Amino acid sequence: MLSKIFSGLRVAIKYFIMYLSMLVPRNYKICVFGAWLGERFADNSKQLFLEAQEYKGLRAVWITKDEKTVREVERLGFEVYRWGTFKAVWIQLRAKYAVVSNGISDLQHTFLGRAVIIDLWHGIPLKKVCYDNKYEKDWDSPKQKFRDMLVNVPLGNMYYVATNKVFVDIYQSAFRVDRKQVLCLGQPRCDVFFKKKRPEPYFPGKNIILYCPTHRKEGAEKIDIRKLFDLRRLEKYLSEYGFYFVIKKHFYHRNETEDLKGYPHIIDVTRLDMDIQHLIMETKAMVTDYSSIYIDYLLLDMPLLFYCYDYEKYLAEDRELYFRYEDVTPGLKARNFDELLKELVLFAVNKGGYAVEERKRARDFFYCKKGQKAVGGDIIRMMLKREFGYKKILRR
């Protein structure tokens, strides 16, 4: 009983402070950034933060829970504060803009009353998300509706960045916002694809096939590589054709380990801190399933292979999809390892010509013309020009 009382008091104090934060004057020249619940320096927020450093009129500040991230951003020479410190709290109270990749909990949203919150999201959704995902919670319960009403007053000035008109409609439903709160631009995290200077490779001199499966039940169900792949046959294929198979599981599976001794061409980097956009830029092909990372990969126009070994189970137990899977994924879909190996051999023979026309159709479906180039600068210039107002955005 006491624990419930204390928990209720904490929530009440949190909302009281959130409403008080609406009274603090906010500075249009300050923008705070966060990602992945404050635990990572990554994703769309990271790329926009880095690009913001090039604009003198905007003070960009990263907020994080992670001490390692603090040191990383400091090494880059940029402003960063640890979650909960006086400086972090004060800068969030003063910032007019807040940029996130997952949601308001990427930052200490208690201190963001009346800030303009720009949610870049963390990928183009293939799977149903937020209010559209009926498996997550009862979004229409009285408790949830009351919570949404309370939060919307101080934090309702939110905007979402989509990549095509199709996703403007999806975001409107998924986040239950007005259509004029969704911008049709693109993903800043893909800007690095269009820059002349290439990042340093993680595997110099190696031909990489990257395996990026999405999470299973937010990480509760393990992705067991030994059960999904015949490692002996895979190693033989890789050795014969001169490839390395690099495994990068979803962040939710970051604590899983794989015993890959005896398979020198199969490498698990799930637990390593790698920039996924930099990693995919050095690959020759990608193998994935229902992860939206393949949509990023379409911009590189490189071969994609799909390994959907649990298709029926995934749809029944994990997450519904927005589209018919076969319609928006280029190439054949392997349902077991034998089928995947056949596709890998076909890719090794055809290389860049693998399902090329289907890839182009999928790219143009997911991205408007603006989204097929660097977009971060457009978002930053909108901040500097104070264009984040409902009427002004509606005219764009």
Write out pLDDT tens, residues 66-86. 999 999 999 999 999 999 999
Quote the mean pLDDT of the chain. Answer: 89
Spans of all domains in the chain: 19-193+374-395, 208-370
Reading phi first (left if > 0) and then psi (alpha if -120 to 50, else beta), residue 91 is in: alpha
Reading phi first (left if > 0) and then psi (alpha if -120 to 50, else beta), residue 43 is in: left
Residue 198 DSSP label: P
DSSP 11-25: HHHHHHHHHHGGGS-
pLDDT at position 315 over 80? no
Percent of the chain with pLDDT over 90: 56
Q: Report residue 245 as tokens.
A: 């198979």
Q: Report residue 138 as tokens.
A: 């009862």
The whole-angstrom distance between residue 338's C-alpha and the CA centroid of its chain comes to 31
Residue 85 CB coordination number (10 Å)? 12
Look at residue 28 in the predicted model and tell me its pLDDT: 95
Residue found under tokens 């399902």: 355
Between 145 and 90, the more confident residue is: 90
pLDDT at position 319 over 80? no
pLDDT digits (tens, 9 = 90+) for 337-369: 999 999 999 888 887 778 888 899 999 999 988
Of the candidate ranges 23-27, 73-77, 146-150, 227-231, the one whose mean pLDDT is the lowest: 146-150
pLDDT grade for 394, boundaries at 50, 70 and 90: very low
Q: Report residue 104 as tokens.
A: 């308001």
pLDDT at position 244 over 90? yes
pLDDT grade for 112, boundaries at 50, 70 and 90: very high
Residue found under tokens 């189970």: 313
Q: At the fourth CATH level, which superfamily is domain 19-193+374-395?
A: CDP-glycerol glycerophosphotransferase, N-terminal domain (3.40.50.11820)
C-alpha radius of gyration, the chain, whole number: 22
Look at residue 23 in the predicted model and tell me its pLDDT: 94
Look at residue 318 in the predicted model and tell me its pLDDT: 67
pLDDT digits (tens, 9 = 90+) for 164-218: 988 999 998 888 888 889 988 889 999 999 988 888 999 999 999 999 998 887 7
pLDDT at position 391 over 70? no
- Cα gap 363→376, rounded to integer Å: 19
Between 85 and 142, the more confident residue is: 85
Look at residue 21 in the predicted model and tell me its pLDDT: 93
Size of the chain in residues: 396
CATH fold match for the domains 19-193+374-395 and 208-370: yes
pLDDT grade for 393, boundaries at 50, 70 and 90: low
CA angle (329 as vertex; 374, 103 as ends), nearest 5: 55
Q: At the fourth CATH level, which superfamily is domain 208-370?
A: CDP-glycerol glycerophosphotransferase, C-terminal domain (3.40.50.12580)
pLDDT at position 29 over 80? yes
pLDDT digits (tens, 9 = 90+) for 275-306: 899 999 999 999 999 888 999 999 998 999 99
Look at residue 395 in the predicted model and tell me its pLDDT: 38
Look at residue 286 in the predicted model and tell me its pLDDT: 94
- Cα gap 248→255, rounded to integer Å: 12
